[in-house]
Structure 1
Amino acid sequence: MPDLDGKINGRAAATSKSWHQETADLPSFYSPQSRPIRDISRLTNAQHEDQEDFSLSSSGPSSHARDVEAPTATLDSIASSPAPLPPPSLLSPAFTPPATPGTATPSSEQPRSVPVDSSIPSGGCGTKKPRLLETLPEVQCIVRARIPTTGGTEMFLHLYTNNVDQKEHLAIVFGPHIRSTTLDTPREGETEMDRMVRGAYTGRLYPGRTRSGMMGPATLTDSNTESDMPEQNDPPLVRIHSECYTGETAWSARCDCGEQLDEAARLMSLPSAKTGGIIIYLRQEGRGIGLGEKLKAYNLQDLGSDTVEANLLLRHPADARSYGLATAMLLDLGQQEVKLLTNNPEKIRAVEGPNREVRVTERVAMVPLSWKGRGGFRSREVEGYLKTKIEKMGHMLDIGSLPS
């Protein structure tokens, strides 16, 4: 039945063409495939061939992506095949940042650190003098909660308020022995249940528990408290991380902020990290200029500026961040000496505070994973971003640790 065959083939060709037009320019997470479509070969002239072939070539944005060519299919098989599956849910793990804490390949490798001393010119902290606050802000941890991570480890999320802005800054703490002074301080009129609800307790919470273990004697079940743990002499690994919605949530390949946050969490979750770790998460998006201005800077980058020039063209400093809140939060968490996970030499002195209230004794480099051959991702934008940070902002990358 040539007429029917012609109608089927024509309808299939039209459907395929329409589908290509609708999906070719969409982001990867709208595609029915788990990886974005990069190339769709044009259909051949149906007047000269009984069957038309087309192939799909895909490659994903993540570090493990490789070009994969799909099997050739005929239009007859397309016409008779079931409709394509709907796009995967945006909540699917396939679309979370490529190295969500705990999902990376397990490793017991300890990060290599180098001694630093900001009190001397040759102390490995750069030559620039960062902007320091005259006095440290006042901070208060108002709630703490246990967060089990996808990799099986646990951390405690601390939410802070302060007297300099209206934002809620965070401390992500790995290790139950690191505690907040302002959280644990008793508050007038509160009950034991009040304390447990805001996270001021020792040990673990469980159904039916009635005492925090801090205002009165704990039960036998609560006896394994943080105070029973041996005191650690080595300073913990600390990352001062500024909020980056585009890099941590919107899968942006313009920066490596999401990868840095994931890698910091991975290093602090290692079994060998016995002293724990702290990620101070400061709500200063876009190096302190805010998300709206940051997106304008992205457009200026597409017009030819680098990340520093874009900020300056918008009449902002190249880096408008400050770190007094981080210093105050570290002190509240009982940390006066830390190992800092950073490539930014200015951050070392800035985090120490106006009177070196916190001392950074060692620096751990944050080398992009792709440079080490351990996954990560590459893009034209992120390579330019890293180049600008090194050449114009003085960031130090531990090139000696890269594979030869």
Structure 2
Amino acid sequence: MPASELDQPPFDGSVFPPFYSPRPDARGGNRDIDDVDFSLAEGKTSPSNSERANATQDALAPSPASLAQPPPPSLLSPAFTPPSTPGTATPRSATLTEPRGIPVDSSIPTGGCGTKHPRLLETLPEVECIVRARIPTTTGAEMFLHLYKNNVDNKEHLAIVFGGNIRSKSLDAVREGETEMDRLVRGAYTGRLYPGRTTSGILEGSADTPSPVSQGPPLVRIHSECYTGETVWSARCDCGEQLDEAARLMSLPSNTAGGIIIYLRQEGRGIGLGEKLKAYNLQDLGSDTVEANLLLRHPADARSYGLATAILLDLGQKEIRLLTNNPDKIRAVEGPHREIVVTERVAMVPLSWKGKGGFRAPEVEGYLKTKIEKMGHLLDLASLPRQDSNQ
């Protein structure tokens, strides 16, 4: 190895290239290790590795002038990132908005449940909740994440539960040979966990209190996985915004009945991520979202909701308020023998539709237009802001 390389100080991870946003210097620019002057003054010996490392840290340390300046924008929240679940950084007036509900009844033709009759499974899948954990969120709201396995696929479907009054029957069931610590670790406990807790039930005289009694049917959202819209900031759909809005509504203090987001792992309306990306390329070639699926020899919508029905039953729900703009989804969620009854359809209106956040893009406008014109989704015009006639 050349002597020049041996003389270099060991890399300790404290100095990063500019991509990782190094600290600004007093001039407001970025200093990097390449900016440090290691040239030797006449008559001085070569500094040791430790002296080089100390000089590097001294040169990169912020000056008092730089400390007085506001910090650079955080990489954790770039401007193009969708709002953080459950709907942070929104106006107070928007966060207090109550959802609009419309009574529905699928037992009669005029019940407001759409005109299509989805093909339902003859029997519901078998589901079992494997683990449950409390998730504190960045806004202070809490949720309980339930992970499910089933007998129809090898995917891990989820239920995001708001409120402590909704519990899983399969999770709470005693399993052969398990200890109290086993039950605590998999989330089959009542009340809250704390250091030193040894039992899964509530002890007499404990500080834990029973969960409040539910105040009517909970608000339920059936959400299908969308990696592109939820993770890589895609403007081709509004799935990320809808997930945020569902969590926001379920976190409202006035929502005493609790809420459930059933998160089904059926990417791309059931065709998978790879086929979905092919459909994106077809959309760039001029097809809409429905035409692209059909050109790839897939149904316009290949999703199934039997797992959602089974999970809701496991969570003890017989009646729900369904958060959706798709009236045809009501019958699909109720199950083959109406195991669950949807009493109310609540309009899904993301904040961007109201002009109170979110994003606008030509791609998402075309996506919503196709859902309304070709897939029968409804648009709650009463919740939208008025547009200037000249726009």
Q: Structure 1 length normalisation: TM-score?
A: 0.76
Q: Is the CA contact 2:165–2:214 (under 8 Å) kept in the aligned structure 1? A: no
Q: Which residue of 2 aligns with 1:350?
A: 332
Q: What fraction of aligned residue pairs are identical, expressed as a percent?
A: 79
Q: For the Cα contact (< 8 Å) 2:235–2:363, is it kept in 1?
A: yes
State the partner residue of 2:15. Answer: none
Change in Cα spacing, 1:81 to 1:140, as seen in structure 2 (3 Å) is: closer
Kindly tell me the number of residue pairs found equivalent between the two proteins.
Answer: 322
- Which residue in 1 is equivalent to 2:205? 220
Residue identity matched to 1:318: A
- Following the alignment from structure 2 to structure 1, what is the Cα–Cα distance between the partners of residues 337 and 314? 16
Residue 380 (structure 1) aligned to one of 359, 362, 374: 362
2:238 aligned residue: 256
1:389 aligns with 2:371: yes
Q: Return closer, same or farther for 1:314/1:248 CA change in 2, 3 Å cut-off.
A: same
Determine helix, strand or coil for the equivalent of 1:109.
Answer: coil
**Partner of 2:294 in structure 1?**
312
Alpha-carbon distance in 2 for matches of 1:279, 1:83: 44
With over 3 angstroms needed to count, the CA separation of the structure-2 counterparts of 1:31 and 1:147, relative to structure 1, is: closer
Aligned match for 2:275, one of 283, 293, 305: 293
Matching of residue 191 in structure 1 with residue 176 in structure 2 = no
Unaligned runs of 5+ in 1: 1-29, 33-79
User: Aligned pair 1:338/2:338, yes or no?
Assistant: no
| Amino acid in structure 2 at the alignment position of 1:212 | S
Match of 1:329 in 2: 311
Once the two structures are overlaid, the 10-residue window that deviates more, 91-100 or 308-317, is 91-100
Pair 238,104 (structure 1): closer, same or farther in 2 beyond 3 Å: farther
Runs of 4+ in 1 over 6 A off after TM superposition: none
In 1, the alpha carbon distance for the partners of 2:331 and 2:74 equals: 44
Picking from 114, 117, 135, the partner of 2:102 is 114
Q: Relative to structure 1, is the Cα distance of residues 360 and 296 closer, same or farther in structure 2, using a 3 angstrom cutoff? A: same
Contact 2:214 2:257 in 1 (8 A): yes
SS of residue in 1 equivalent to 2:129: strand
Partner of residue 197, structure 2: 209
1:131 to 90, 95, 119: 119
Equivalent in 348, 353, 356 of residue 366 of structure 1: 348
1:50 corresponds in structure 2 to none
Q: For each residue in 1:248-295, what CA deviation from the matched residue of structure 2 results, as whole angstroms up to 9, or x when unmatched?
A: 000000000000000000000000011110000000000000000000
Residue 139 of structure 2 is matched in structure 1 by 151
Aligned-pair CA distance for 1:163:
0.3
State the TM-score, normalized to the length of structure 2. Answer: 0.78
CA distance in 2, matches of 1:233, 1:103: 26
Per the alignment, in what secondary structure is the counterpart of residue 351 of structure 1?
A: helix
User: Which amino acid letter does the alignment assign opposite residue 237 of structure 2?
Assistant: C
Gaps of at least 5 residues in structure 2 are 1-18, 22-26, 33-71, 387-391
